[in-house]
Each structure stands twice: as structure tokens, then as C-alpha cells.
Chain A
Amino acid sequence: MTKTEIENTDLKLKLVSDFQKFEKSLNGKANSILNKIKIDAFDCFNRLGFPVKKLEEWKYTNINPVLKHDFKQSTQLAKHTLTKDFVGKYFLKDAVNLVFINGFFDESLSDKITDNDSCYSGSLAEATTKFGDFVEQHFSKYADFKSNSMTALNTAFSKDGAFIYLKKNSVNNIPVHILYISDAVNNVMLSQPRNLIVLEEGSSIKISEDYFTVGSNYNFTNAVTEIYCAQNSNLEHYKIQNDGDNSFHIGTTQVHQERDSKFSDTTVSWGGSIIRNNLNSVFNGTNTECHFYGLYLLDGKQHVDNHTLADHKMPNCFSNELYKGIIDGSATGVFNGKIMVHPDAQKTNAYQSNNNILLSDDATIYSKPQLEIFADDVKCSHGATSGQLSKEEMFYLRSRGISENDARILLLNAFASDVIDSVKIDALRIKLYHTLQLKLKS
């Protein structure tokens, strides 16, 4: 047995004992629907173990460096030193800001939760006690843990996270901004937020998930977001990752779309050490539409892996995907986009594009745009490119008296804007452009 395998087993053993403690604390409630799911999920995790590079899905991402740290699992809202003033700086104006510290809802730091006739946005823990039947209907129904060990792990230990629910035909113009703060000041923490977003018929909302780290200890976030879009609903979902240099993030966003629904996601990753994002959308009805946008801006030794799946199960659906990467230092970008068209999904239109710019000699990109098509009346295409800044464009700008650095920033800004412009929350978009400028300047 190699050294890493032993270490790998160590964290796993710790999680096994954590789970045994949890099972004991159930006090006869082990038969409830949610707890049964959790026990099943842990069995799955126990069987599958942490993902290894041998698996095709993890070919380019090695998570062994993550597993060698002695993570302590966050099991409740722990004491912290964050003040409302400090957190307020990260708030979005004209939005409902919800704050989660290491995966647990902090009411004192958040805006007032919304709980009215048309919409509920608050914490999953509270929602489970308030209307457990509803949560049971949706919890773990979309994110499959049988084949994904990290989702299984999250499901087994899931306690809290964001819960957003829109009732039939409610149109919510106030976005929800969820802040996930990893408190790495004193502890080496593993947080596992579990989010559930349910949009009933004809409803619409914009939601942004914002991940960042306070403190410089190692921290590991294993997040799962389940999204259910009923017919005619419209969800704009954003995920911003701006964690610290010692942060690891594995996140799965699993979307289930009914007919005529529209889903759009923008994932921006520019902070964190090892990041893995899974974004899967399953089309369960005809005429659904989905857009995936992604931007990764990497430097140093960062490693960002984006896996997406547009699962066309029904005819007449549309999916479009654009992922862009700027890679500097000795960073590594991984893109794996999959379009799956099932035998009945005729008249499918699916497009996918992945563009990369490498800025340094040590930067690496692994790109795998993948099409699996079992229906004939489809239009599918994908493209992937890798290159550097165009010499002609640089010359054009330089000849007009723009310094090399400014020209570079201008061009990269334009390159990234295709993705950032897909963000429809104005305050968030401005914030992203601002961060982009700062990142490019450094």
C-alpha cells in the first residue's frame, strides 16, 4: 500500500466513526425517510471511497493532496469572530443575503429570511422542521449518490444549507445571494453545505452562490446543490468561487428540468487550491432550455476542474455551453463537457464551446468536449481551442500607445466578458468585473 492510500483511509476512517456517532444520536428515528437516505448514502460512500485518478471522471484531478489533511467535520454553527460589518462588505445591494459559516446558517449575520405566500428563502435545517414532508419530496431525488462518492458523502452528513422555494407563478425580482464563508482562522474544517432549490410552475428567481474563505488554514468544502425546475419556471443561478490558497472545493450542482423550463448557470472560479465543479442538467420534459457559462482565471498552483453534463432525455430541447479559461503560473485547468442525447431526444440542438488562453509556459489545460448521440435528427456541435493572446491584436493596441500590460488586460477583459455578461444581477456583474480587473492587474 502506498503512503497516500493509508492517509486516504485515515480520513475515511474518521468519517466512518463520525457517521457511527451520528447514527447513535438518531434515537430510534433511524427509520425516518431522510435518515434512511443518509444511511444508504453513507453505505455508498463507504463502498466507493474517495475518487481516484483511475476513474475516467477524475483522470486529470488528483484529490490525494486534499485528503492528507486532518480535517474536522463541521457539525453545527460554531463560535466565530466574524462581525456583521465585515460580512456586510460582501453583501449584494437589493438582494436577500444569507450567510452560512462552514455550511451552517448564521441568522445573526444574514438579512431577514423570506417567508411569505410566494417564496421561502432560508436554511434547509429550519425548513426540514417546518415543512418536513415537502423537503422529503425533493431531498436527494435529483443528485444521484450511487455513482458519485462525494455526493454520497455530502448526503450522508447533510444537515444545513440554503433552502429556496418558489410557489406557483411567483416571480421574484429580488435575487437571493448566498454567502458560504469557510472560517479557517483557527480550525482545519470540512464543511458540507447541502442546498435545495425548488421552483414551482411558472416561477422565476435569480440566485447566486458565493464561496470565500476567511483565515489561512486548510479547509475543504464539499457542497451539493439540488435544483428542481417545474414547467415554465426560469432560474438564473450563479456560482462564484473566491476561496483562499489553502481551500479545496468539490461541488455538485444537479438540475432537474421539466418541460418549457429555462435554466442558466454561470460558474466563475478564481480562488482556491483544488476546485472541482460538477454541473449536470437533466431534461425531463420537452422544449427545455439550458445555458452553462463558466470562467476560470488561474494562477500559481491552482487546479480547477469543471465537469458539465447536458442530459437530453426529451425531444425539442436546447442547450448551450460556453466555458473560458485564462491560465497563468503553473496552474492547471480541466474542462470536460458532455452532451448526451438519448434515443428519443429528436430535434435536439446542443452547442458547446471551450476556449483557453495559456499565459505561461508551465500552465496546462486538459480539455475534453464530448458528444454522445443516439438520435439522428439533431444538431450538435462542439469546439475547443487553446492559444495565447493574438500578436496582431497586441500590436494594434501597442501601436496606439497602449502599454503592453494595459493591452494585455484589455484583451483578457474582453475575452472574459463573454462569460461575465451572462450574469443578470447588475450588482454582481459589476462586482465580478471589479474583481477581474484586480486579478488581471496582479
Chain B
Amino acid sequence: MVKEDDILEKVTSSDYKYGFYTDLEMDKAPKGLNKEIIELISSKKNEPEFLLEWRLKAYNIWLKMTEPNWPNVKYPPIDYNDIIYYAAPKTKKKLGSLDELDPAIKNTYDKLGIPLEEQLILAGVAVDAVLDSVSVATTYKEKLAELGIIFCSMSEAIVNHPQLIKKYLGAVVPQSDNYFAALNSAVFTDGSFVYIPKNVRCPMELSTYFRINAENTGQFERTLIIADEGSYVSYLEGCTAPMRDENQLHAAVVELIALKNAEIKYSTVQNWYPGDAEGKGGIYNFVTKRGICSGDNSKISWTQVETGSSITWKYPSVILKGDNSIGEFYSVALTNNFQQADTGTKMMHLGKNTKSRIVSKGISAGKSNNSYRGLVQVSKRADNARNFSQCDSLLMGDKCGAHTFPYFEIKNKSAIVEHEATTSKIGEDIMFYCNQRGISEEDAVALIVNGYAKEVLNQLPMEFAVEAQKLLAISLEGSVG
């Protein structure tokens, strides 16, 4: 539970809490993007030949593509040659234990509140902490290894499990999928890799923290999660980034693969630097997230709490290929000041008796714009497909905007698809009720917003739910009145 004092304290010190910068000696590639840079990244990471070819193919596809302009967001053009595509802390030596960790990095995590020390770790959480581009420490590995679970950085997986990488990398998000996915495929530096073997139920929440640390380095994460037949995994992703004035680009790709009877639960709390109150700075978050329920009776569930980034552009999607498979999408997107969010999901029903559920809660405050864009597609063969979507928007202040762009493409008569959306502001009667009971305006808003978003927050694992509630309150600070 969140103590009231806690919220108050955080609300009063509302500056971006995680805005600090770790001075590490960096191993940087020169600015710019070309064939040589990609070859450099590949060789730095000791990658096998097939992956370099895969990257170059993506690069060639990317060159022919143009940046999409359909999202409901505005930003100055990005100079892709002004970005450093590779940066790694110089401590390249593999670490045996946590004591060997660079004290500066350790200190950074402490400030972030990441419980990296094993004894302090919240029960059941293994952290694969990613600082910029290289995974520096992995915990609980042995315990997971006993069960045959592979949970490591993408670089390690490429070296140690090339056969899995070869089979599944790009299987859900091909290089040619979209502009940013192509860019990511060409230059991705690291990320997380998870493989859950057959009939194994992962005993703990897997978790990773991303941080964009060095100035001018776009982060290009690549996450791949494979749940083999009958397995279960819950994966948590949390993001914080230090305060920087220059816009930073983040184009990640997340691929989930659920085989027969498998279930993947993917939760995100995204709290990158949203820019200051004038809309200066902030992260561009252009992410491609997609999962495939490739086997029968499989399930993929996305939960996201989006409070950060100056621009968010992402649509965690599910391809429901297997019969009886289930896709879920729960989202809270909060925008304040000059933030822009264009987010939503795609549910592609291909198999029979497939089900999907979309719950999206948008909150716009200040001068921000918040869009929901979703597609529900029922193909001809998807008999008895079922979809329910609900997307609500809450508006605070008369300068913000809330938009809904739902698309439905139904080609099967037995499909039942329902969609409902509402837009409104916080009712004056509700505010009055709270004020009357001595709850200040600001606290009342935090309370109401938390209640409004509860349906989604309830989907988050416990420790994330607490963090998410705090985040909503902090992000809304100054938007009332």
C-alpha cells in the first residue's frame, strides 16, 4: 500500500525523480549509420556470420523505407546520422558475483530503487539489469538454469543459443515490418532473451530495467521471449531514464512467441523522461511489440502503464493463430504538459474460437494529446471469434486532446465484436464529494485516476502496481486547477 505521506512528498518534489547521470567510461562508436557501423556492432558483440547478414538485410530494407507519418504525433525530423548506435561501459569482463560490479553502476541502481542485491530483492524477482547497451549483471540465473529456463541478455543468447535465435528472431516482427523495426533489426545492441522449456512454469517474475544513460545514444533493444508448449512466464519491464535536454530516440522491438498451451504475461511500466513543462527534451519512444499465439490454447497478455516519454508510439499486438488462443491488452496511458501518445493494439484473429480483450484508459492533462488506435481483425476462417474492447479517455484541462481511432475488419459471420468508448472529464460531483471529506483537489484527482485505472493496474504484478500508482500521482502533479 502507498502511504498518503509518501504521495504527498513525491507530489511536492515533482521534478523528474530519476534525472541523474552516471559518469561511466563509455566505449562509443562514432555517430552515424552505415554498413561499417553495423559491421562494427556485430564484431564488437562477437556475433555469428548469419546475424551480420540478417542485420545488413534489415539495413538495406530500411534504406528503402520512409518514416511513417500516419500517427497522430508531431516531432521535428530525426537525423539518423546524428545518433551513436553503439555505446557500452568499458567493463567488458564477465562478472562472477555482484561484488565485482562497478560501484558507480551499483550506486545508480540504488538510486533508482532497483533491488539488485540478492538479499534485498523482492521475493521472486530476478533482475537482468541493462545499462545502456550491455547487460552487466544477471541474478537468480542458477535457480532458473536448474529448470532449464534461459534468461540472459540478447548478446549472450546470440553466442550461446544461435539455433534458437536463428529460428525465432524476426519470426513475429520481420525486418521489413515497419520503419523503426527495420532500423532496430539493423542496429540492435542488446536486450533480453527468455526461453521457457516445455511444461515449465517459471517460478518467479522475470524482470529487466532499461536505462538510457549516455547522451546521444539511441537505444535499440531487442527482446525475444519464447514460451514452449505448456509453459508459463510473467515478464516485467520497467524503464527510467535520466534527464537530458536533447531528444533521444528509442526504437525497441519485442517479440513474444507462445506455443501450444503456453502463456506469456508481459507487463511494462514506462517512465522515461517526458520533457520539461515547456515540452523541451524527452524521449521518443517508437516501439514495435508483437506476440504470436502460434499454438492452440495459448495466451498472451500485455499490460502497460505509460506515463513517460515525450512521444509514445506503440501498439503491442497479438496474432491469434492457434485455435482457442487468447489475447489481452490492458493499458493506461497518461500524458501531461506537451507529451504525445499514440498507442493501442492490434488483435488479429486467425484461429477458431479465439478471444481478445482490450481495455485502454487514456488520461490527458496539460497541453498533451493522447490517442488510442486499435485494430481488431477477424479473418474468414476465425469462426466464433470474440472480441471486447473498451477505451475510455479522461480529460483534464481544456488544452489537451483525447482521440480514439478504432478499426474493425470483420470477415466472419460468427464473430462477435463489441467496442465501446467514452470520453469525459472528472465529474464535479465526484470532486465535490472528495473535497467535502477533506481531501485536497490534487489528492482527489490522484484518487479518482487510480480508481479509473484500477482495472488495468490490477493486472500488474504486486510490486509494479505500487510503483504505477505512485507514478500516476507524480505525473499528474500540476495538472489540476
> Which residues on the B side are within 8 Å of A372 (C-beta)?
401, 403-404
Q: Is A380 an interface residue (CB 8 A)?
A: yes
A120-138 interface with B by 8 A CB criterion: none
Expressed in whole angstroms, the Cα–Cα distance for A356 and B395 within the complex equals 30
Q: Is A366 an interface residue (CB 8 A)?
A: yes
Partner of A370, one of B380, B400, B405, B415: B405
B390-443 interface with A by 8 A CB criterion: 393, 395-425
Q: Is B70 an interface residue (CB 8 A)?
A: yes
Kindly report which residue of chain A lies nearest to residue B371, judged by CB atoms: A372
| A349-363 interface bits toward B, Cβ cutoff 8 Å, 1 = contact, 0 = none | 000000010111111
A binding-site residues for B, Cβ under 8 Å: 56, 343, 346, 356, 358-388
Kindly report which residue of chain B lies nearest to residue A371, judged by CB atoms: B404
B409 to chain A, nearest CB (A): 5
Expressed in whole angstroms, the Cα–Cα distance for A272 and B422 within the complex equals 35
Expressed in whole angstroms, the Cα–Cα distance for A359 and B424 within the complex equals 36
Partner of B408, one of A363, A365, A374: A365
Cβ B409 vs Cβ A343 within 8 A: no
Cβ B406 vs Cβ A369 within 8 A: yes
Known: A373-B393, A376-B396, A376-B425. A383 touches B420 (CB 8 A): yes
Expressed in whole angstroms, the Cα–Cα distance for A167 and B224 within the complex equals 70
> Which residues on the A side are within 8 Å of B401 (C-beta)?
372-374
> Which residues on the B side are within 8 Å of A379 (C-beta)?
422-424
Kindly report which residue of chain B lies nearest to residue A350, judged by CB atoms: B423
Expressed in whole angstroms, the Cα–Cα distance for A385 and B389 within the complex equals 10
Expressed in whole angstroms, the Cα–Cα distance for A375 and B398 within the complex equals 5
A218 to chain B, nearest CB (A): 27
Cβ A368 vs Cβ B417 within 8 A: no
Expressed in whole angstroms, the Cα–Cα distance for A197 and B409 within the complex equals 36
Cβ A364 vs Cβ B404 within 8 A: no
A56, A359, A377 pick with most chain B CB within 10 angstroms: A377
Query: Which 4 pairs of residues, A with B, have the shortest CB-CB distance?
Result: A358-B413, A376-B395, A367-B408, A371-B404
Cβ B419 vs Cβ A358 within 8 A: no
Partner of A388, one of B397, B411, B413: B413
Cβ A386 vs Cβ B398 within 8 A: no
> Which residues on the A side are within 8 Å of B416 (C-beta)?
385-388
A351 to chain B, nearest CB (A): 10
Cβ B70 vs Cβ A378 within 8 A: no
Cβ A365 vs Cβ B410 within 8 A: yes
Kindly report which residue of chain A lies nearest to residue B425, judged by CB atoms: A376
> Which residues on the A side are within 8 Å of B425 (C-beta)?
376-378
B binding-site residues for A, Cβ under 8 Å: 70, 380, 393, 395-425
Known: A56-B70, A360-B413. A369 touches B423 (CB 8 A): no
> Which residues on the B side are within 8 Å of A363 (C-beta)?
411, 413
Expressed in whole angstroms, the Cα–Cα distance for A371 and B395 within the complex equals 13
> Which residues on the B side are within 8 Å of A371 (C-beta)?
393, 402-404, 421, 423
Cβ B407 vs Cβ A366 within 8 A: yes
Cβ A384 vs Cβ B406 within 8 A: yes
Known: A359-B413, A374-B401, A385-B417. A380 touches B407 (CB 8 A): no
Kindly report which residue of chain A lies nearest to residue B417, judged by CB atoms: A386
Kindly report which residue of chain A lies nearest to residue B397, judged by CB atoms: A376
Kindly report which residue of chain B lies nearest to residue A381, judged by CB atoms: B422
Cβ B418 vs Cβ A383 within 8 A: yes
> Which residues on the B side are within 8 Å of A358 (C-beta)?
410, 412-413, 415
Cβ A385 vs Cβ B419 within 8 A: yes
Given contacts A343-B399, A371-B403, A377-B425, 6 further A-B contacts (CB under 8 A): A56-B70, A346-B398, A373-B395, A375-B398, A378-B423, A383-B421
B354 to chain A, nearest CB (A): 15
Expressed in whole angstroms, the Cα–Cα distance for A368 and B399 within the complex equals 25
> Which residues on the B side are within 8 Å of A386 (C-beta)?
408, 410, 415-417
Known: A368-B408, A378-B425. A361 touches B398 (CB 8 A): no
A369 to chain B, nearest CB (A): 6
Cβ A368 vs Cβ B398 within 8 A: no
Cβ A384 vs Cβ B408 within 8 A: yes
Expressed in whole angstroms, the Cα–Cα distance for A379 and B419 within the complex equals 17
Kindly report which residue of chain B lies nearest to residue A59, judged by CB atoms: B407
Cβ B395 vs Cβ A378 within 8 A: yes
> Which residues on the A side are within 8 Å of B415 (C-beta)?
358, 386-387
Cβ B417 vs Cβ A381 within 8 A: no
> Which residues on the A side are within 8 Å of B397 (C-beta)?
376
Kindly report which residue of chain B lies nearest to residue A348, judged by CB atoms: B423
Cβ B406 vs Cβ A370 within 8 A: yes
Expressed in whole angstroms, the Cα–Cα distance for A386 and B386 within the complex equals 10
> Which residues on the A side are within 8 Å of B410 (C-beta)?
356, 358, 364-367, 386
Kindly report which residue of chain A lies nearest to residue B428, judged by CB atoms: A377
Cβ B419 vs Cβ A368 within 8 A: no
Cβ A376 vs Cβ B398 within 8 A: yes
Kindly report which residue of chain B lies nearest to residue A364, judged by CB atoms: B411
Expressed in whole angstroms, the Cα–Cα distance for A374 and B400 within the complex equals 6
> Which residues on the A side are within 8 Å of B405 (C-beta)?
368, 370
Known: A368-B408, A369-B406, A373-B401. A361 touches B423 (CB 8 A): no
Cβ A361 vs Cβ B380 within 8 A: yes
Known: A364-B411, A368-B408. A376 touches B420 (CB 8 A): no
B165 to chain A, nearest CB (A): 37
Partner of B421, one of A362, A369, A376: A369
7 A-B pairs with CB atoms under 8 Å apart are A358-B415, A369-B419, A370-B405, A371-B393, A377-B398, A382-B419, A386-B410
Expressed in whole angstroms, the Cα–Cα distance for A369 and B403 within the complex equals 11
Expressed in whole angstroms, the Cα–Cα distance for A329 and B412 within the complex equals 12
Cβ A364 vs Cβ B409 within 8 A: yes
Cβ A382 vs Cβ B418 within 8 A: no
A372, A376, A387 pick with most chain B CB within 10 angstroms: A376
> Which residues on the B side are within 8 Å of A356 (C-beta)?
410
Cβ A381 vs Cβ B421 within 8 A: yes
> Which residues on the B side are within 8 Å of A382 (C-beta)?
404, 419-421
Expressed in whole angstroms, the Cα–Cα distance for A377 and B425 within the complex equals 6
B229 to chain A, nearest CB (A): 32
Expressed in whole angstroms, the Cα–Cα distance for A373 and B413 within the complex equals 33
Cβ B424 vs Cβ A380 within 8 A: yes
Expressed in whole angstroms, the Cα–Cα distance for A388 and B417 within the complex equals 10
Kindly report which residue of chain A lies nearest to residue B394, judged by CB atoms: A376
Cβ B413 vs Cβ A361 within 8 A: yes
Partner of B404, one of A360, A361, A370, A378: A370
Kindly report which residue of chain B lies nearest to residue A327, judged by CB atoms: B413
Expressed in whole angstroms, the Cα–Cα distance for A383 and B420 within the complex equals 4
Kindly report which residue of chain A lies nearest to residue B378, judged by CB atoms: A386
Partner of A384, one of B413, B419, B422, B423: B419
> Which residues on the A side are within 8 Å of B411 (C-beta)?
362-364
A356, A372, A378 pick with most chain B CB within 10 angstroms: A372
> Which residues on the A side are within 8 Å of B420 (C-beta)?
381-384
Kindly report which residue of chain B lies nearest to residue A358, judged by CB atoms: B413
